Structure 1
Amino acid sequence: MRLRAALALGTAPDPRSVGKLIERCAIEPEFYVRDMLTWALTRHPSSTTVPELLAEVRSERPQARSQALHTLSKIGDRQVWPAITRAILTDADDEVARSAWRAAVVLVPAGEECGLAAVLSTQLGRGEHETQRSLSRALIALGEVSVPLLRAAMADTDAEPGVRRHAIATERLFRDPDAGFTFAIEDAKRIMVLGRAGQEGDG
Structure 2
Amino acid sequence: MLIGEVARRSGVSTRMLRHYDSLRLVRPTGRTVGGYRQYSDADIRSIFHVESLRTLGLSLREIARILADQSFTPRTLVSDLIERTEQRLVRERELLDRLRAVENAEPDDWPDVLRIVELVRTLGSADPHNRLQAVLNPAANEPVPTGLLAAAVLAETEPNMAGALRWALSRAGGDGLVAVAPGLASVDVEVRRRAVLAVAEISGDAATELLTATLDDPDSGVRGHAALSAGRRGVTAAEPVLVGMVIAGVNDVDAGEVLGELSGDPESADRILRALTDALTTHDHDAGIRIRLIQALVELPGTSALATLRPLSADPDHSVALVAKAFTELVASRAKSQDY
Distance 1:18 1:170, change over 3 A: same
Question: 1:141-185: per-residue Cα shift (whole Å, max 9, x none)?
Answer: 323345333432443364124554332111223459xxxxxxxxx
1:121, 1:72 → 2: CA distance?
22
2:219, 2:227 → 1: CA distance?
12
Return 5+ residue gaps in structure 2 as ranges.
Answer: 1-129, 303-308, 319-340
1:36 to partner: Cα distance: 0.6
Distance 1:127 1:167, change over 3 A: closer
Aligned equivalent of 2:191: 64
3-state SS of the aligned residue for 1:196?
coil
Q: Return the TM-score normalized by structure 1.
A: 0.68
**RMSD across aligned positions (CA):** 3.2
1:4 to partner: Cα distance: 1.6
Which is higher, the Rg of structure 1 or of structure 2?
Answer: 2
Distance 1:78 1:39, change over 3 A: same
Distance 1:167 1:76, change over 3 A: same
Pick from 247, 250, 257: which aligns with 1:125? 247
1:64, 1:40 → 2: CA distance?
18
1:76 to partner: Cα distance: 0.5
Aligned equivalent of 1:98: 224
Distance 1:78 1:120, change over 3 A: same
1:100 to partner: Cα distance: 0.8
Native 8 Å contact 1:78 1:107 kept in 2: no
1:37 aligns with 2:165: yes
1:7 aligns with 2:136: yes
Aligned equivalent of 1:48: 175
Native 8 Å contact 2:200 2:207 kept in 1: no
1:192 to partner: Cα distance: 5.2
2:194, 2:206 → 1: CA distance?
18
1:2, 1:197 → 2: CA distance?
52
Q: Return the TM-score normalized by structure 2.
A: 0.43
Return 5+ residue gaps in structure 1 as ranges.
Answer: 177-187, 199-203
Native 8 Å contact 2:149 2:165 kept in 1: yes
The number of equivalent residue pairs is: 174
Pick from 255, 273, 276: which aligns with 1:151? 273
3-state SS of the aligned residue for 2:137?
helix
1:192, 1:6 → 2: CA distance?
53
The AA in structure 1 aligned to 2:215 is L
Question: If each structure's helix is expressed as a fraction of its own residues, which one has the higher value?
Answer: 1
Aligned equivalent of 1:134: 254
Taking only the aligned residue pairs, the percentage that are identical comes to: 21
Question: 1:53-78: per-residue Cα shift (whole Å, max 9, x none)?
Answer: 22111222233222222222222021
